Amino acid sequence: MKSNIDDSLRLFRLLVILLSMNCIWVAMTTAIHGAVSLEGLFSAYRLLVSVLLAYAIHRRLTLRKIVHGLFWVATINSVLVALQLFDALSDRAYLPLWLNYGWVYGFEDIELWRKGGLVQSLQTSSLLAVYGIVFGAWRSSRKVMFVVFPFLAIALLVGARTFLPVGLVGIVYAVIRMPLVTGAWLWTLAWNLTSADGFWEFFQLRFGGLLDVFTRFDFASDYSVEDTMKSYREFSMVEFFVGNGEDRYSDAGGNDPFYTRWLFQAGAPSVILLMAALAAIGGYCGRYSVIAYIVLAVACYHNIKGELFTSAGTYDVLVLIAFVFLRRRGGRAVAFAQHKANTMGSLISRHAASTVA
């Protein structure tokens, strides 16, 4: 009973311990390497501060508000992705400059068929699209999904390929839940997009080599996968234990993948502590919903390619949902215990009264 009530607090304490240990460790390794870079230190403390802030505000929010809010954030961002793609394929510009992908973050959008809406990362855009498809098929009405599904599907197509396997599972789930809506839109999108100029060149470049990657483990068949695997290079024993303290995108850094970024920046202990934090979130929430284990598995898989699940924004929302979810489960446990106690008390009173009579 007590474990149910205290799960959100227990998770908070465990995360604070793990992330504080990581902050101390990264500070030590940064000092050992002569403070060549403070990047790892800033990231380590950001994760700790995220947990502190999320726990401080989680009682002011409900799970319903968060999950529905995320659905509409995913929808709005996906609509903008579709508009950005249409704008790029058109002969003239329709969108204002500040709505172009990357403009807000100071980088130039040079790829015609890759758009991310208003978020900085294509991975974030794809994660939002997958969430929107799955949650929409699960909770939203067919009328809502008839309007928003094509935008979510387009955002998934032109986003990060890392989420393609997960996205396909989401599409299949949507087809099962809403076969007419999703089937009609998939056929319509396929008919129109495949006739657009440059689509097949984009499709071959982005998806042509993936089949060999997953079926034959031929990493050289895809340029992006081959580039990612270069991050998994040999390391010295010193690098294994304390890293090298370099920026992730320096010549000696670990680049995009979560595992190599933290290994080369602060050593294996940092990787272990951060993975333990993710596992703690999945473990505590997984007691009540298998979805938590699915999210944890996706995070472990995606960490091979990038660092989305510990990135700014995504990690904040993740821990906030975890605290709100566990608080809700604890509240239900309290209500159930009170009802059970009242019922038992009533039965005992009736039994005592009948015995006296």
Mean predicted confidence (pLDDT) in 341-351: 51
- Angle of helix 268-286 relative to helix 258-266, nearest 10 degrees? 140
CA 275, CA 299: separation in Å to the nearest integer? Answer: 10
Residue 349 carries which side chain, given as an amino acid letter? S
pLDDT at 176: 94
pLDDT interval class at 331 (50, 70, 90): low
pLDDT interval class at 1 (50, 70, 90): very low
Non-local (6+) Cβ contacts of 285 within 8 A are 292, 322, 325, 326
The residue with greater pLDDT, 141 or 310, is 310
Q: Calculate ∠ Cα 311-312-315, nearest 5°.
A: 65
pLDDT at 4: 45
Tell which residue, 112, 123, 106, has the closest CA to residue 86.
112
Residue in the structure block whose two tokens are 């505000």 = 57
pLDDT at 339: 41
Q: Residue 287 above 50 pLDDT?
A: yes
Mean predicted confidence (pLDDT) in 323-350: 60
Instruction: Retrieve residue 299's tokens.
Output: 């995070």
The residue with greater pLDDT, 87 or 220, is 87
pLDDT interval class at 110 (50, 70, 90): confident
CA 184, CA 79: separation in Å to the nearest integer? Answer: 19
Non-local (6+) Cβ contacts of 139 within 8 A are 67, 68, 71
Q: Residue 128 above 90 pLDDT?
A: yes
pLDDT at 141: 81
pLDDT at 341: 44
Q: Which residues of 173-210 are buried (b: 16+ CB within 10 A; e: fewer)?
A: ebeebbeebbeebbeeeeeebeeeeebeebeeebeebb
Q: Classify the C-alpha dihedral 99-103-105-107 as positive or negative.
A: positive
Mean predicted confidence (pLDDT) in 122-142: 92
Q: Do 129 and 155 touch, CB atoms closer than 8 A?
A: yes
Instruction: Retrieve residue 139's tokens.
Output: 């909770």
What average pLDDT does the chain have? 87
Q: pLDDT digit string (tens) for 36-62?
A: 999 999 999 999 999 999 999 999 999
Q: Do 21 and 270 touch, CB atoms closer than 8 A?
A: no
pLDDT at 213: 59
Q: What is the pTM of this model?
A: 0.84
Instruction: Retrieve residue 214's tokens.
Output: 């997953």
